[in-house]
Chains A and B, each alone.
Chain A
Amino acid sequence: MSEQDVTVPAADESARIERVAKPSQKRSGLLTGATGRNLGLVIALVALCIFGVITAGERFASIDNLLTILRLASVIGVLSIGMTFVITGGGIDLSVGSVVGLSSVWASTLATQAMAEDFHWIVIVLCALGVGLGAGVINGVLIAYGKVVAFIATLAMLVAARGFAEIIANRRTQVVKVDSFLDFFRSSPLGLPMLVWIFLVVAVAGWFLLNRTTFGRRTIAVGGNPEAARLAGIKVKRHTMYLYALCGLTAGIGGVMMLGRTTAGSSTNGQLYELDAIAAVVVGGTLLIGGRGTIVGTVLGVLIFSTLRNVFTQNNLSISAQAIAMGVIIVVAVLLQQRIAERSRAGT
């Protein structure tokens, strides 16, 4: 059957005029639409920076300090990109922090015990990525094919991966002494720390994947309405599995980055990172119910939290005070999101 030859049955011309289409109401308000939402985040970030400059002056505004902010943002940042996909696809992954710990421990054990020095450091990296991917695939299979609720399946992985990491590490911290590995992660090509480069590359790749590829479109479709996606011929289960695998992979990348940053694989690496990642994603404007995600928003969310921490530390404010501020920011951001969502649905 041809696609073009469909004609409307003798709908008379007067009828066409009668039901003149209303012009679409494109909402270009300051805080609505994708650009507008991100603009709001940028404003928040700028406000934080101004606050930082006023309260901490030079100490905050130095290049070194800015690079520190970025460097500390990078691990959570990479996890948040993976998390953005899972959440956009209508799921959640609570296990990423534990998987960071497990993959860093596993990779460091390899470096300190198994093979000593007669191998290339890339093996450490591949090991961590493999562990992350494997954990993600297990999550994905359980959720997509085993029909376990994502919250429960990844909660189980959170607990189990941490325990597994402790067994491997034997409750000791494994210090990596492979110099070529450490040199690589401590280098700063073009003045930007390697960890920040990795975050940048993952974020850009994530943006393309979500916005420009069939994978991204499937993610939005599966998160927006899984039944409609399935009835349109999209393999929803398989795609769901891919999403968790991808998220696990980013946790593996995070594990390597931790190893590079701290030089040590510890079973406590990445504790509670899942909460920071989810918070950054949600504050960034990705809907927790799925169907809409934004990588730019996630990156801004990560930067806001990282800057906030830095400003607080510069002012010698306690970690507890940081936590309270983060809580307030999350609530305010979600309240704003809801308002915007309601407004864009009104009048339908």
Chain B
Amino acid sequence: MVNADRTEDPPLLQMRGIVKQFPGARALDGVDLEIRAGEVHCLLGQNGAGKSTLIKVLAGAHQPTEGEILLDGEPVTITHPVAGLKLGIATMYQELDVVDGLSVAENIYLGHELATAGFSQRRAATANTRALLTRLGHGDLSPHREVGQLSAAGKQIVSMARALSHDARVIVMDEPSAVLDAEEVTNLFRVVRELTASGVAVVYISHRLDEIRQIGDRITVLKDGRTVASGLPVAQTPTAELIKLMTGRNVEYAIPQRDAVPPDAATVLRVDGLGLRGAFSDVSFEVRAGEVVGLAGLVGSGRTEILETVFGARKATAGTVQIEDRRLRAGSVSDAVTAGIGLCPEERKSQGLILDEPVYRNITLSTFARTAKASFLDEGAERTVAREQIQALDVRPSDPDRSARTLSGGNQQKVLLARWLVHGCRVLLLDEPTRGVDVGARAEIYGLIADLAAQGAAVVVVSSDIPEVIGLSDRVLVISEGRVVHDGPASDIDEHRVLDLVMEGSAA
């Protein structure tokens, strides 16, 4: 992948000594980045390392306090995002910035509409859009399609086409694979390779190290707002070293081994013939105390819907959910919570946390009524309970009065886990527990899940990361197109087998 000759090329883009000072916080403290034409340059770093700030500086959304940016060796100042685009630097943000109500073509030319004297040239825009989509290998996508109807992958293609419509020479992709399933990621990589083959440089941000192995040429690692390594060739840098650079310590990027669940362990959660019209049908499984059951499958297979229906957040159209002997009322979250089920949802920020409320209130969100005396809150008791959890789960920073918004993804996940621990849940449903969580915190969350199971919790885990599901679970259910296509011990299955099952399932 790394071409030795390329090292002689002059860099397309250089950032030198970039400092970004925010009121009260130094987000970047001397970052160097050097990008060559036609390469995939991976930007690695834990949450809070400064990646987002750096790409915003590059896009012109933030102005650096110090440092310089050189394009083709010439110093440039990127005063605002439009100036960045004019220089050929396009950014695809994590939250795809497309307008759902507009068509594909309208989105691509948003902000630089093709128009003569104020009249839009729809035909030209359509034709150009078609050409761009074809270049991205998606000639089948209609320029007239409303973007709101597209999947996340489709929106990403639109976002990429928009970047190309600006004749971008550098495209920054912020965690583009986070919303994609395995097949879509393969397609994304194909597109990225075609882009780089035509001389476009791609700055690729991802937490998934295996992806970086597949697609990356060189790596720059950020830590605490500084460059700790730049231009590392992907092929010659072991994963362990990358983790060490990012975290400043050696992390076992491995899932802890757990003892087998004793055969006499009681069944805690019993799901029988559960169905939700239009999403999944006839899902049955049992989870025993101390057992971790994983739901593997692609995005859109119905995994999340199954968890949410078990929890009562969606109202089942068929089947039953039982906790021990208690049958839960369909569609009642409060019944599920009372029975001792907790759900850590996929979208932590929009579904899990009240971002502007302090951490302790987020931790006690399910239990404040219980600690209250005659409906009067006991905030002292809440803080005490929250502090215990913060300490036990190692939430950082450890201040219970800090707003949840300021925490990193991994720590927000711990806050959600803490909520259900305080509640004393016997069943925990974890949807993508490590999405957007950096490598260091990921290992901690794996450890927490193992501990919870060891203490007798019944755990159900959903994850797009197939090795993660297999590694964490005792038993794996493979879901495809809303049906369970496999149910067996995790030790008998591997990633390839899961993918085969998924393919068979969707072919059937």
Q: Which residues of A contact B (CB under 8 A)?
A: 1-12, 14-16, 18-19, 21-26, 212-217, 220-221, 224-225, 227-235, 291-292, 343, 345-348
Residues of B within 8 A of A12 (CB): 249
User: Cβ of A19 and Cβ of B396 under 8 Å apart?
Assistant: yes
Closest B residue by C-beta to A9: B447
Could you list some 20 contacts between A and B, CB below 8 A?
A1-B456, A6-B452, A8-B447, A9-B444, A9-B448, A11-B447, A16-B394, A19-B396, A21-B396, A214-B372, A221-B354, A225-B355, A228-B352, A231-B333, A231-B343, A231-B345, A232-B337, A232-B366, A233-B366, A234-B365
Instruction: Name the contact of B444 in the complex, choosing from A8, A235, A292 (C-beta under 8 A).
Output: A8
User: Cβ of B256 and Cβ of A233 under 8 Å apart?
Assistant: no
Closest A residue by C-beta to B401: A24
User: Cβ of A1 and Cβ of B455 under 8 Å apart?
Assistant: yes
Sample of 11 more A-B contacts, CB < 8 Å, known A214-B376, A228-B353, A234-B334: A1-B421, A1-B426, A1-B456, A1-B457, A21-B396, A217-B368, A221-B365, A224-B356, A230-B333, A234-B365, A347-B23
B407 to chain A, nearest CB (A): 9
Residues of A within 8 A of B22 (CB): 346-347
Instruction: Name the contact of B377 in the complex, choosing from A2, A212, A234 (C-beta under 8 A).
Output: A212
In the complex, what distance in Å separates the CA atom of A347 from the CA atom of B406? 8
A339 to chain B, nearest CB (A): 13
The answer to whether the Cβ of B380 comes within 8 Å of any Cβ in the partner chain is no
Contacts A1-B424, A224-B354 given; does A230 touch B313 at CB 8 Å: yes
User: Cβ of A4 and Cβ of B399 under 8 Å apart?
Assistant: no
In the complex, what distance in Å separates the CA atom of A14 from the CA atom of B398? 17
Residues of A within 8 A of B376 (CB): 212-214
Residues of B within 8 A of A346 (CB): 22-24
In the complex, what distance in Å separates the CA atom of A265 from the CA atom of B313? 47
Q: Which residues of B contact A (CB under 8 A)?
A: 22-25, 27, 247-249, 256, 311, 313, 333-334, 336-338, 343, 345, 350-357, 361, 365-366, 368-369, 372, 375-377, 385, 388-389, 392-394, 396-399, 401-402, 405-406, 419, 421-422, 424-426, 440, 443-444, 446-448, 450-452, 455-457
A66 to chain B, nearest CB (A): 34
In the complex, what distance in Å separates the CA atom of A10 from the CA atom of B448? 11
Instruction: Name the contact of B452 in the complex, choosing from A1, A15, A18, A220 (C-beta under 8 A).
Output: A1
In the complex, what distance in Å separates the CA atom of A23 from the CA atom of B27? 15
Residues of B within 8 A of A230 (CB): 313, 333
In the complex, what distance in Å separates the CA atom of A212 from the CA atom of B419? 20
User: Cβ of A231 and Cβ of B313 under 8 Å apart?
Assistant: yes
In the complex, what distance in Å separates the CA atom of A217 from the CA atom of B362? 11
Residues of A within 8 A of B444 (CB): 8-9, 11
In the complex, what distance in Å separates the CA atom of A25 from the CA atom of B405? 13
In the complex, what distance in Å separates the CA atom of A10 from the CA atom of B421? 20
A250 to chain B, nearest CB (A): 19
Contacts A8-B392, A347-B22 given; does A232 touch B365 at CB 8 Å: yes
User: Cβ of B361 and Cβ of A217 under 8 Å apart?
Assistant: yes
